[in-house]
């Protein structure tokens, strides 16, 4: 979602005749797009702001957008008085206001719903992977999560608006569509005639476009994997056989305290159903270790479920208490050293699962999306249907965006392969 927001901000400024630079000392406008999910990310923003204010040109406009802006609000100006603007994740389309009035200060952390989508100009050229947001915010209110506060309540974009974006992307260079949402499979839009549209309808619509070869979506909430969505994995070959479906913990007690009230058996049933629908489907997850009150036994159950599902790649985090969340106030907060120990143990299992899966790909032929040359220019980097990085030799200048690649070697981080002509 932040990559998407960043692309839109860049497009908005290039449309005003600006060029992008990564050199802070040369920039006329400096924007930090930020994430507030964990405290570490927020801390990094403020240390970066402190560094940038010393490096920037004195008259350069300088500000933060995104979830840290929403969380810090006016306090950000107090901490860093040089800041010119503080814009939340649903108000960054207001950026031109400060460019037109550089002597003012701009604070807007409103939750404007879908307003930004109507106001942002379309991007002239789509990247090969087009991120298309279909909903914003989240209603699940997991007790650890700041997202419902920073991005607000769940709201789905009109079906026809999303389809318009997909068609535009397909005409301007997109090969892959990635539908985005904090609770992407909760997408639900009712048109004026009362017809209900779900994520599966969007997938069907995108699949009709010849230019679009691959479709995926992220992030999913387990119990919103409705049958129409599961079934489409069996009927739509453009939908990649890969799904990020965060479980967070393998302990029923911890899940209850996280306010993720699904039975573990139900989660396992959903995975089994998906595998029956499409036998080559693979799952990834997010995990939180050291949630308040997590015992050694609870943690063992997380390891057990990871091994049971055989996640092929996962994101794992130490629980980080966040403002405005219920879990931050819970008793039995886990000490940092125990969190770190549990994370290291979980990561070693997850790495093993990832390496096993990567090695199981050797000898297979995978249809991959071209990303670009590597730093040396001697190799090409592709993305497999399972989002693994696959590196091939650059054999000639005739690089096609989609290639069939025979996998020849694998380690934990990536695959090597040979392009089949």
Applying CB under 6 A, the residues found at the interface with ligand SAH are 37-38, 144-145, 147, 182, 219, 246, 248, 286, 288, 317, 319-320, 322
List Cα–Cα distances, 120 to 15, 146, 165, 171, 312, in angstroms: 11, 25, 12, 18, 36
Compute the Cα dihedral for 323, 327, 333, 338 and give only its sign. Answer: negative
Closest approach of ligand SAH to the CB of residue 322, in Å: 5
Closest approach of ligand SAH to the CB of residue 247, in Å: 9
Residue with smaller CB distance to ligand SAH, 179 or 317: 317
Closest approach of ligand SAH to the CB of residue 319, in Å: 5
Residue 153: count of CB within 10 angstroms of its CB: 12
Residue with smaller CB distance to ligand SAH, 315 or 393: 315
Q: Which residues contact 147 (CB under 8 A, 6 or more apart)?
A: 37, 67, 137, 138, 182
Q: Which of 166, 152, 159, 167 is nearest to 199 (CA)?
A: 159
Closest approach of ligand SAH to the CB of residue 223, in Å: 13
Residue with smaller CB distance to ligand SAH, 114 or 362: 114
Bridge partner list, 282: 242
Q: Which residues contact 349 (CB under 8 A, 6 or more apart)?
A: 303, 306, 307
Residue with smaller CB distance to ligand SAH, 302 or 320: 320
Residue with smaller CB distance to ligand SAH, 63 or 290: 290
Angle, nearest 10°, between helix axes 264-277 and 296-309?
10
Residue with smaller CB distance to ligand SAH, 198 or 322: 322
Closest approach of ligand SAH to the CB of residue 317, in Å: 4
Residue with smaller CB distance to ligand SAH, 94 or 322: 322
Q: Which of 276, 345, 280, 285 is nearest to 309 (CA)?
A: 285
As a whole number of angstroms, the distance between CA 243 and CA 240 comes to 8
Bridge partner list, 418: 406
Residue with smaller CB distance to ligand SAH, 38 or 94: 38
Residue with smaller CB distance to ligand SAH, 38 or 70: 38
Residue with smaller CB distance to ligand SAH, 198 or 213: 198
Q: Which of 35, 38, 95 is nearest to 63 (CA)?
A: 95
Residue 362: count of CB within 10 angstroms of its CB: 14
181 and 117 Cβ atoms separated by less than 8 Å = no
Nearest-CB residue for ligand SAH:
219
* N-terminal to C-terminal alpha carbon distance within the chain: 35
Closest approach of ligand SAH to the CB of residue 185, in Å: 10
Cα angle, residue 139 at apex, residues 134 and 143 outer, rounded to 5°: 130
The two three-digit tokens of residue 347, written as one number: 């990561």
Q: Which residue in the block uniquely carries the two structure tokens 């307003």?
A: 115
Residue with smaller CB distance to ligand SAH, 330 or 381: 330
As a whole number of angstroms, the distance between CA 288 and CA 297 comes to 15
Residue 173: count of CB within 10 angstroms of its CB: 15
Closest approach of ligand SAH to the CB of residue 301, in Å: 16
Closest approach of ligand SAH to the CB of residue 412, in Å: 21
The two three-digit tokens of residue 210, written as one number: 């010849």
């Amino acid at each position: 979602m932040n990559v998407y927001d960043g692309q839109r901000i860049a497009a908005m400024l290039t449309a005003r005749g600006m060029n992008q630079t990564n050199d802070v000392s040369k920039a006329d406008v400096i924007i930090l797009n930020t994430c507030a999910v964990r405290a570490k990310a927020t801390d990094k923003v403020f240390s970066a702001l402190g560094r940038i204010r010393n490096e920037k040109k004195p008259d350069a406009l300088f500000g933060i957008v995104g979830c840290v802006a929403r969380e810090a609000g006016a306090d950000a100006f107090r901490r860093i008085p040089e800041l010119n603007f503080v814009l939340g994740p649903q108000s960054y389309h207001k950026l031109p206001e400060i460019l037109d009035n550089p002597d003012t200060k701009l604070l807007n952390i409103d939750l404007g719903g879908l307003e930004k989508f109507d106001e942002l100009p379309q991007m002239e050229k789509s990247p090969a992977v087009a991120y298309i947001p279909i909903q914003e915010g989240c209603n699940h209110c997991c007790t650890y999560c700041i997202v419902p506060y920073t991005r607000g309540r769940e709201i789905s974009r009109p079906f026809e608006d999303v389809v318009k974006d997909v068609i535009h992307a397909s005409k301007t260079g997109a090969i892959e569509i990635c539908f985005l949402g904090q609770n992407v499979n909760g997408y639900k839009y009712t048109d004026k005639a009362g017809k209900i549209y779900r994520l599966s309808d969007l997938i069907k619509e995108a699949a009709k476009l010849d230019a679009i070869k691959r479709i995926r979506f992220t992030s999913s909430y387990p119990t919103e994997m409705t049958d129409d969505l599961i079934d489409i994995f069996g009927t739509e070959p453009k939908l990649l056989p890969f799904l990020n479906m965060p479980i967070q913990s393998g302990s029923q007690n911890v899940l209850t305290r996280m306010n993720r009230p699904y039975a573990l058996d139900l989660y396992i049933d959903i995975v089994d159903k998906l595998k029956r629908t499409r036998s080559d489907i693979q799952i990834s997850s997010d995990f939180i270790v050291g949630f308040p009150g997590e015992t050694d036994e609870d943690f063992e159950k997380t390891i057990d479920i990871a091994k049971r599902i055989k996640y092929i790649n996962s994101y794992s985090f130490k629980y980080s208490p966040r403002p405005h969340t219920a879990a931050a106030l819970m008793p039995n907060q886990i000490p940092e050293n125990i969190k770190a120990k549990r994370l290291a143990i979980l990561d070693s299992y997850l790495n093993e699962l990832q390496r096993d899966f990567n090695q199981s790909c050797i000898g297979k032929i995978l249809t991959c999306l071209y990303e670009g040359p590597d730093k040396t220019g001697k190799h090409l980097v592709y993305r497999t249907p399972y989002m693994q990085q696959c590196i091939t030799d650059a054999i000639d200048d005739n690089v096609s965006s989609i290639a069939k690649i025979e996998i020849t070697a694998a380690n934990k981080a990536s695959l090597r392969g040979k392009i089949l002509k």
